[in-house]
Amino acid sequence: MTLHTSPQPAGSLDSKQIRLRLEERGQSLPTPWQVPSTPGSSIPASLVRRVSNRLYVSGHIPTDADGNVTGPYGKVGDDVDLATAQQAAVRTVLSLIASVEKAVGDLGVVEAWCSLHCMVNSAAGFTDFPAVFNPASQLLVDAFGPDAGAHARVAVGVAGLPWDLPVEIEAEVQLRT
């Protein structure tokens, strides 16, 4: 994996600098996604749970600039090709970053993206799950730098995802104390 990051000491990036790094790569953070309410549920919907200096970020899906769920729809390897699934994964990680920023106020408090759990709505026979998420992982490293942006990752295929979307990603993030 080639790292394309500007020289910057670890821990000195704030939200503005991270947004500039994203802009340099033709990307921008969307409005944070809002979890749809579930009829009959008394449990409040939450995308980010903070426990001490750790964030547990619920599964996110591709959204548009306004934070609305957007396609493509269908199974990767059938309805959705690899390049389109990769673009959806990048939009999903941008949505994750936006939710983290909303939860903590400034992305400068992110010490490390610890792990990503990546899921592919997979057609039978499609097995290149890691390739779907490589551009999204690279974007985290590019935006946050190699120390804070590098992460452990699992990529798995599943029989289906909400609203027949091609990808979903959840994350664990370590905050500075």
Per DSSP, helices labelled H in the chain are 15-24, 82-104, 129-149
pLDDT tens for each residue of 118-129? 999 999 999 999
The answer to whether residue 135 scores a pLDDT higher than 50 is yes
Q: Using one digit for the tens of pLDDT, what is the confidence trace for 28-78?
A: 999 998 876 666 665 666 789 999 999 999 999 999 999 999 999 999 999
Other beta carbons less than 10 A from residue 173's beta carbon: 28
Task: Give pLDDT, residue 2.
Answer: 41
pLDDT at 3 over 60: no
Q: What CATH topology corresponds to 15-32+47-175? A: 60s Ribosomal Protein L30; Chain: A; (3.30.1330)
pTM of the model: 0.90
Q: What is the structure's pLDDT at 46?
A: 77
pLDDT of res. 44: 60
Query: Which pair of structure tokens corresponds to residue 84?
Result: 């389109």
What are the extents of the domains in the chain?
Answer: 15-32+47-175
pLDDT at residue number 6: 41
